[in-house]
Amino acid sequence: MQATPAHSDEDAIFRKIARRIVPFLFVCYVVNFIDRVNIGFAKLQFLQDLKLDDAVFGIAAGMFFVGYVVFEVPSNLLLARIGVRKTMLRIMTLWGLLTVLLMFVQNATGLYVLRFLLGAAEAGFFPGIVLYLTYWFPDSRRGRIMSLFVMAVPLAGIVGGPLSGAIMSHLHDALGLRGWQWLFLIEGVPAVALGFMALFYLDDRPADARWLSVHEKERVAAALEAERAGHAGAQPHGHGRLRDVLANPRIYVMAGIYFCIFMGLNAVGFWIPTLLRQVGVEHVSSIGWLSGGISVCTAIGILLIGRSSDRLMERRWHTAGCGLATAASFVLLPFAAHSIVLTVLLLMVASLSIYATLSVFWTIPTAFLDKNAAAAGIAAITAIGALGGAVSPSLVGMLKTYSGSLYSGFAVIALLLVIGMVVLLRAVPAPGREVERGVRQAAVK
């Protein structure tokens, strides 16, 4: 079917918006994720230097998410009030400076404190961007936009893996600094620069964008209003106050599912370097390049799955199928313990699937939260769900210390992922059933 002129005009407007804001947000998320997980590479050196073990590392990785959870909701509510420009300036400059300060860590206590503060500084970044994208794109376009944004994570692996390996290999003991100290220094500075750039480059809402014409602003506003009107009869909404949003049981169901997803995300994000070393990859630079190769495949897979979800307007099975594929990969990892090739293949499937799960998942809650409830709702789901980020690395690290095997922790996470995906399929109605339920509710009213 040939597109109508009006539809083609709207496509062109949203392409223009995507070209303007998505690349910058993409770069910010690349830097964000490199700084969040570079401790996974740094640990290959600093555990020995500081005489720490995997249990300490797991707790330190998890402390990030304790700070993240505590400040998540306030940060997103503040973003809705003051805008993304000032919020990004605050978040990015603070997390960049704290990343640099990690180079001065001397013991476990200092590591815990700085990781907590890093999480507190970054709190609100991801849910803030999710909220920000709802200001610019209707739900029918948000799947592919979220996929493009989440592709920053594998790109962070493509860039960050080889970069981290190279820094730690080639700058080790340069100017009296260890390789892991150079890692935190070099990878922390870009966040500060991007924070200041955000203040001048981004616009808080379409109405503020001088690069959009009056006609283009009107078309964007009309598309977003049509989406809200379409959801109004079919979805139960809160009033946007935090108390009202937190009284909605659907928020907690989504948060529980997100908890399980986050467990899988952090298992992949923090432990790939350790798993690769465990199966026989000795050199840090080789681990970096293999991590980068896994990330290339992940990026391609995320984009394809996101486009498929938008084209079919199907969210449930795209999310659940990817989550179950991640769980299967985790369960199979022990059977590949003596093969680098098989381990890399399973990690590739797990990485591709879990990040695709993340990108498609966020089209579900943003579709049922209205504009008044979105800031609090997205932040609440992210904050509660991100507790999985605190639990996951700590769980794997402690089980590794006490059992001698990483695989027991991955098996537990696989089980939680299966539970989460089953709950999602039960709790989120198929599109046809959702519309029918909305019509029945409207008729009763």
Residue 42: its pLDDT value, please? Answer: 83
To the nearest whole percent, how much of the chain has pLDDT over 90? 20
Rounded mean pLDDT, 151-176: 80
DSSP conformational letter for 205: S
Mean pLDDT of the chain: 81
Q: How far is CA 376 from the centre of its chain?
A: 18
- Tokens linked to 86: 């000032």
Report the C-alpha gap between 395 and 58 in whole angstroms: 7
Report the C-alpha gap between 224 and 14 in whole angstroms: 12
Residue 419: its pLDDT value, please? Answer: 95
No. of helices (H) and no. of strands (E), the chain: 20, 0
Element (H, E) at 112: helix 108-122
> Given a cut of 60, is residue 442 above it in pLDDT?
no
pLDDT tens per residue, range 346-357: 999 998 899 888
More confident residue, 143 or 19: 19
pLDDT band at 327; cut points 50, 70, 90: very high
pLDDT tens per residue, range 230-273: 555 444 444 455 566 667 788 888 889 999 998 898 788 777 77
Report the C-alpha gap between 373 and 375 in whole angstroms: 6
Rounded mean pLDDT, 149-158: 77
Place of tokens 């605050």: 90
Indicate the domain borders of the chain. Answer: 19-425
- Tokens linked to 324: 């179950």
Which segment of 135-144, 230-239, 306-315, 337-346 scores lowest on mean pLDDT? 230-239
More confident residue, 51 or 1: 51
CA atoms lying within 13 Å on the CB side of residue 110: 12
pLDDT tens per residue, range 369-383: 666 566 677 777 877
CA angle (61 as vertex; 56, 63 as ends), nearest 5: 90
Q: What is the CATH number of domain 19-425?
A: 1.20.1250.20
pLDDT band at 100; cut points 50, 70, 90: very high
Residue 4: its pLDDT value, please? Answer: 54
Tell me the torsion sign for CA atoms 22, 28, 31, 32: negative
**0.75 surpassed by pTM:** no
pLDDT tens per residue, range 417-427: 999 999 999 98
Report the C-alpha gap between 154 and 33 in whole angstroms: 9
More confident residue, 233 or 360: 360
Which segment of 93-97, 284-288, 309-313, 438-442 scores lowest on mean pLDDT? 438-442
Which segment of 183-192, 277-286, 355-364, 426-435 scores lowest on mean pLDDT? 426-435
Residue 439: its pLDDT value, please? Answer: 35
Residue 90: its pLDDT value, please? Answer: 92
pLDDT band at 81; cut points 50, 70, 90: confident
Residue 322: its pLDDT value, please? Answer: 92
> Given a cut of 90, is residue 436 above it in pLDDT?
no
**For the residues of 58-109, what is the DSSP string, one character each?**
HHHHHHHHHHHHHHHHHHHHHHHHH-HHHHHHHHHHHHHHHHHHGGG--SHH
Residue 335: its pLDDT value, please? Answer: 92
Rounded mean pLDDT, 147-165: 78
- Tokens linked to 366: 């943003």
Select from 30, 62, 129 the least CA-distant residue to 396.
Answer: 62
Report the C-alpha gap between 139 and 111 in whole angstroms: 41
Select from 142, 361, 362, 381 the least CA-distant residue to 250.
Answer: 381
pLDDT tens per residue, range 10-29: 888 888 998 999 899 999 98
More confident residue, 93 or 126: 93
pLDDT band at 65; cut points 50, 70, 90: confident
